Chains A and B, each alone.
Chain A
Amino acid sequence: MSLAVDIGWGTTLGIKTLVVMGLIPVGALVLGYTFLLKMMSHMQSRLGPMDPGGFHGWYQLIGDGLKFIQKEDIIPAGADKRVFKLAPAIVVLSTFLMFVVLPGGPDFVVAKNLDVGVFYALAVSSLSVIGVLMAGWASSNKYALLGSLRAAAQLIAYELPLVLAVIGAVVQAGTMNLQGIVRFQADGAIFGWDGLGHPLILTQFVGFALFMVAAQAELSQPPFDMPVAESELVAGYMVEYTGFRFLFFFIGEFGTAFVYAGLAATLFLGGWSLPFVDADDNIMNFLGPGVLFAKIMLVAFLMFWARFTYPRLREDQLQALAWKWLIPIALVNILATGALKVAF
């Protein structure tokens, strides 16, 4: 990332922090409004919010957010107060850190172009487990405790297929740098034909499918929403949270969905690059974020489609799916990718 004027590192850091901090709620709002409010409603033969803001209820979520901020901040009497207060912040922090490495164009990344970008993003994503465990334990509520333990077991189990699913893409691109992976897809060729570039979804479709399933589980969205199962645990680890702390969880949930969709788009769909447009063209610096956003919405659509369609798996079935199916398939995928990479 190169800015035209040379400003001090402190200012740069400040600006970058503000950009990421702005991106999280905006991403959460966009996904929340488009999919949770509108797409779900239309799938369920209803309209969803129509009045707030005048046009198809676009203001609904913003209004909800403002309402949450005004609400009383209730902390249960038996709660471990400090841990209870800190937990939502840690969940959002993990989302925040994941945003850092997302590339938006040929010359810029959201905040920092790391050489181990994929590794970093997946590593910081597991931070949220700590937040969830803290929330469940500190709430001093049995439902919250059950929910957070389920969440911990689930997030740890699905971390593995998530990482293994990505390795195929990394092996093909030969780099862990997210920008490098996008470049590989933009400049690559499939069997000598370079019209489309080489979006990794064409060769890594198994990896893509595994990534989507594991990401869905990491987000604890249906069919993997055992930790917040509203029909049995009421709201799982969030049950005691009110007001802006609950808002933090909400933003964390949808913000993380946004980042995971961004990672999937970057790793498998070519990120900010467009077919038939030279990746080094300066115009991609302006088009790039828009292209990436469109791809994020496409991936998010798939995620939310599953979310609104499937019932949830039981905890043991969920673990069985991860250990008996996803991980072996991911390992075979890595082996096959490696073998083919050497062969061709």
Chain B
Amino acid sequence: MTATEPRAPGFEVDPSLYRHLADAQVNVEIDTGDMVLNLGPQHPATHGTLRLVVRLDGERVVASDVIIGYMHRGYEKLSEFRTYPQITTLINRIDWLSSFANEVPFVHAAEQLMGVEAPPRAQYIRTVLTELSRIATFLLFLGEMGLQVGAITPAFYGFRDREYVLNAIEAATGGRFHPNFNRIGGLKDDLPWGWAAETREAMRKILKSCDDFEDLVVANPIFQQRTRSIGIIPAELGASYGVSGSNLRASGVDWDLRRDGKPYLAYDAIDWKVWTHPDGDSFARYWVRLQETRESARMVLQLIDAMPSGPIMAKVPRIIKVPEGEAWVNTENPLGEMGYYVVSKGATGPFRVKIRTASLSNVSIAPWLLRGAYVPDVITILASLYFILGDIDK
């Protein structure tokens, strides 16, 4: 296998040099050559179609190539041929785990250009649903990360608890994965009767399950051994790669668009906290996401209590035409910063849409992180970066 493989460029050695060395000293380390290992696009650890080509020396990564694009669906281009209300259906599918959160920045951009604002009740419901999709996304991560480092059980707990959240999202929007619930100027429907009580109950379960994850995974010495000081992202380097969201907060950067960005939704009305961790390793990323899940559950409880009454749609024309202009709206999505740059020429659809997705920037640091890591750590690092392939390839 390794013997028949051609040497990687830059690693060729003149054989005569070897003979000379062998004459000079007895203890010549045998040059074993590197092995090129192809991980993916169909590999259980890359959850999706990410492909990694890693050059290994033993089990240590010498160099790695992250190859993306197997799932490219061309949403930026497709958006140019859709009307504004149709586009929310597309962008639902970018980060399919937190579809609702994807819709918010785009709808905001359109609303900003049209000069309408959703009524307060709609803002609150949007905030609740965004936080619910954040919880659903993170619960999957909390379980999945356990699975990637070898523990099967947390994954099932993650899926079980995510079900409570998905049920709540389904009850409100009618869709578990792709709600398509946002309308320009508000929402499609009001919340159904009894939803608040059920969601409150679900959030209590989530808070309890966060404690379970704390005991089962975070406190586990083997989990800590596997994740602590693995894949450290230095704060400045992370920021210069464009890493955002929980990944950057885990490196100690106290930056959250919900608090630090342009005010949006109802985040200013409630009492919440941004969690950071100074270490920047895989463990820190897990820990920060666990705390954020908890924080989101608390936020949902507060939001439900403070929910104002009133209409859920602003006055908007039946056929939506967006006046000429440009808008850039970025929000704090579960995976990090997501933004839409919308250019309108006054038609029913946008002239150009540029989508900034969090995962693309988050995995761009992977080759830097993987250098020198062991094969098992490759999986830990990728899992802790937490990306969604749809969010990378768009």
Contact = CB atoms under 8 A, between A and B. Distances in A.
Interface residues of B, number: 31
B45 A232 contact: yes
Contact of B376 (A40, A143, A229, A309): A229
Contact of A142 (B1, B156, B220, B378): B1
A70 interface: no
Contact of B150 (A143, A145, A229): A229
Given A45-B157, A312-B222, A232 B376 contact: yes
B146 interface: yes
Chain A interface: which size bin? 20 to 34
A233 B45 CA distance: 9
Contacts of A233: 375
Nearest to A320: B225
A91 B35 CA distance: 28
B7 interface: no
Contacts of B219: none
B44 A230 contact: yes
Contacts, number: 83
Contact of B220 (A43, A46, A308, A310): A310
Interface in A144-166: 145-146
A312 B1 contact: no
Interface in B346-393: 374-379
B223 interface: yes
Contact of A46 (B43, B150, B151, B156): B156
Nearest to A140: B1
B377 A314 contact: yes
Given A310-B220, A311-B226, A313-B226, A232 B375 contact: yes
A319 to B, nearest CB: 12
Interface in A301-325: 308-317
B377 A308 contact: no
A46 to B, nearest CB: 7
Nearest to A45: B160
A319 B11 CA distance: 31
A336 interface: no
A231 B148 contact: yes
Given A43-B153, A311-B150, A231 B160 contact: no
Nearest to A142: B37
A146 B59 contact: yes
B327 interface: no
B152 interface: yes
A222 B152 CA distance: 9
B145 to A, nearest CB: 9
B114 interface: no
A225 B147 CA distance: 13
Given A145-B1, A232-B375, A232-B376, A222 B151 contact: yes
A57 interface: no
B59 A315 contact: yes
Contacts of B226: 311-314, 317
Interface of A: 40, 43-46, 140, 142-143, 145-146, 222-223, 225-226, 229-234, 308-317
Given A309-B216, A310-B151, A314-B377, 13 more contacts: A43-B153, A140-B1, A222-B151, A223-B222, A229-B150, A231-B148, A231-B150, A311-B149, A311-B151, A311-B222, A313-B222, A314-B226, A317-B226
30 contacts: A43-B153, A142-B1, A142-B35, A145-B1, A146-B37, A146-B375, A222-B150, A222-B151, A222-B152, A225-B150, A226-B376, A229-B150, A231-B150, A232-B375, A232-B378, A232-B379, A308-B152, A309-B151, A310-B151, A310-B220, A311-B222, A312-B149, A312-B151, A312-B376, A313-B225, A314-B226, A314-B374, A315-B374, A315-B376, A316-B374
